[in-house]
Chains A and B, each alone.
Chain A
Amino acid sequence: MAITLSGDQAIPGPPLSSRLTPAQVWGIILLAPYLLVFLAFVVYPVCYGLWLARAPSNYVALYNDPIFARAAINTLIFLVIGINVKMLIALFLSGFFAQQRTWIRWLSVIFILPWAVPSIPTILSVRFMLNPEWGMINHFIFSFTGDDGPNWLNDPTVALTMAIAVHIWKSLPFWTLILITGRLAISHDLFEAAEVDGASWWQKFRYITWPSMQTLYVTCTLLSMIWTLGDFNSVYLLTGGGPADLTHVLATLGIRYLRLDQLSLAMASIVCAMPFVLPLVYFMMKRLSR
């Protein structure tokens, strides 16, 4: 409640209760359910979690756990390589889908599917495709080359790459969609003028498209990085963190500690992720407040 009233206290005047109009009283009553939810399920858990993670011994334990170091590196790879590759593809495809063709419009309807359907069945479907003995991909490799295909999910590098691919498969439509709207917002006259001047497609992109989409693109990249830090499904459902816990990211590692009943360790691993999160959030806030 303190938050709702704080704005009021700046105004000098009679005591609070008599200054509130009936409409404002209703305003506070109607805002109360959300405030309760926010306090009970965001503020309290976050504070409680930070309090649980206060003991330095947790961080010593994390430091001594080789899985943690590996997970931190994997997370960095996931964010720096995975997200940038995804956003570049999304930027490229937004140009493709902005073309006015009937078949491209139909394709864009299909293209949304990965985002519209829940992730469990589709990720598990990919998991079986990658099965070394029974999976479709190795069946194909065998029928074309006569050799057995690789044991996809048994090699940590390949498995992590596949998890990134699954993540891209799932969230590419969403970001492409947003970049398409950004592209369609650019005035068409600019492109027509460039056409008359004989500009190449690269010049059009470099001097018209990119300058007007730059802000949106960077904002999307930052936001996608923050959200991807919390992407549990792509890794957990595809590799389960394996082989030998080498493909964990911080999201799955935290949950792993939680399942092992090491809650303070789980919280400590999340606190260790703050150096990733806070700069991203800081840049995000700066952008949004502009």
Chain B
Amino acid sequence: MKLPSLRDVATEARLLLIGIPVFLWTMIPIYHMFLFAISPKEDAFSGKLWPDHPTLHNFEIVFKQQHYFLRDFYVQFWNSTLIAVSVGVLTLFIATAAAFSISRLKVPGGRAVLNLALFTYFIPAAFLAVPMYRTMGNYGLLNNHWSLILAMVTIASPYAIWVLKQASDKLPVELDEAAVMDGATTLQIFRLVYLPLMMPSLVAIGTYAVLLAWNEYLYAFLLLSNDREITLPVALGNFLAADDSPWELLMTTGFIYALPPAAVYYAFRRYMVGGLTAGAVKS
């Protein structure tokens, strides 16, 4: 075995000099949240790096809904789940149909629709939210889960269509032609040829839409207000209404809320990063 040269050591030291601050910068807010979740109130407020008496008591309070701010925890968790899954399913349905239509059926004007769709992302989110709020009021959907579901589908779809179109452009045309020769109708091609081949992309896009909806705060905060209708992030924001907010419980609930998306993200990391960055480099 060769001893590392002085030059190698210097390079490694320089890299560590970047790596350690990056690690601390990334982890401190997350660790702080975790620290609060496992600390009794006195320890949390004393600025210790590790509590004297680490405890899971905060989780117990959350799961038993034993606090004024937490009385609808399960309902809100369920709302978040239901809305995220609905957004995922609806986005998949709308975007797959649109991508099939644009990419495989070459519908006239399809390209233009895709460009218009992507234009949605040139409207800053908070700016679209204001007229969207009023529009939902006009449609009579305020305080209804559908308002948030439809708003999130609107935001998730353009990217979903774009990615699915890229993916389906790569499928060979001969497949469709062969199916037509065998007398398959358009819908049969869609169901029996297209969908199975697109499965990996569909999983990635479904995950993307679910995460987007689960993480959304602004639209949820605007469109839903009833305590039993709101999603978890809105409930977390509502903790701030009181001066003596139970921060250790807020952080515990926040930790529980942040776990599923982090887990899903890491489980699907390969797909997510691949899909995102492939598009980025193209532009």
Contacts and interface: CB of A to CB of B under 8 A. Distances in A.
Interface of A: 3-8, 22-24, 26-28, 30-31, 33-35, 37-38, 40-42, 44-46, 48-49, 52, 93, 96, 99, 101, 103-104, 107, 109-114, 116-122, 124-126, 128-129, 134-136, 138-140, 143, 169, 173, 177-178, 181-182, 185, 216, 219-220, 226-233, 237, 240, 250-252, 254-255, 258, 263, 266-267, 270, 273, 277, 281, 284, 287-288
Contacts of B51: none
A226 B15 CA distance: 33
Nearest to B211: A116
Interface string B199-221: 00000000000000011011000
Contact of A128 (B28, B36, B154): B36
22 contacts: A3-B116, A4-B109, A4-B110, A22-B185, A22-B186, A26-B101, A31-B107, A40-B150, A45-B134, A46-B123, A48-B131, A99-B15, A116-B262, A116-B266, A117-B262, A121-B257, A122-B29, A124-B236, A178-B276, A231-B124, A263-B130, A267-B131
A228 to B, nearest CB: 8
B277 A178 contact: yes
Interface residues of B, number: 92
B187 interface: yes
Given A34-B113, A216-B281, 11 more contacts: A4-B108, A7-B109, A31-B97, A37-B153, A45-B128, A119-B215, A124-B240, A125-B33, A125-B251, A182-B280, A227-B125
Contacts, number: 293
Closest CB pairs A-B (n = 6): A121-B254, A139-B47, A230-B124, A27-B107, A49-B131, A251-B126
Contact of A33 (B93, B122, B134, B138): B93
Interface in B64-122: 93-95, 97-98, 100-102, 105-110, 112-113, 116-117, 120-122
B154 A41 contact: yes
Contacts of B250: 121, 124
Interface string B241-254: 00000010011011
Given A113-B262, A125-B36, A28 B254 contact: no
A93 to B, nearest CB: 7
Given A4-B109, A42-B128, A232 B218 contact: yes
Contacts of A129: 28-29, 32
Given A4-B110, A7-B112, A37-B150, A273 B127 contact: yes
Contacts of A254: 126-127, 129-130
Contacts of B130: 49, 254-255, 258, 263, 266-267, 270
A229 B217 contact: no
A270 B127 contact: yes
A255 B218 contact: yes
B132 interface: yes
A103 B283 CA distance: 31
Contacts of B126: 229-232, 250-252, 254-255
Contacts of A240: 240
A32 B281 CA distance: 30
A54 to B, nearest CB: 13
B154 A277 contact: no
B258 interface: yes
A38 B120 CA distance: 9
Contacts of A284: 122
A7 B127 contact: no
A22 B138 CA distance: 37
A113 B186 contact: no
A104 B151 contact: no
B22 interface: yes
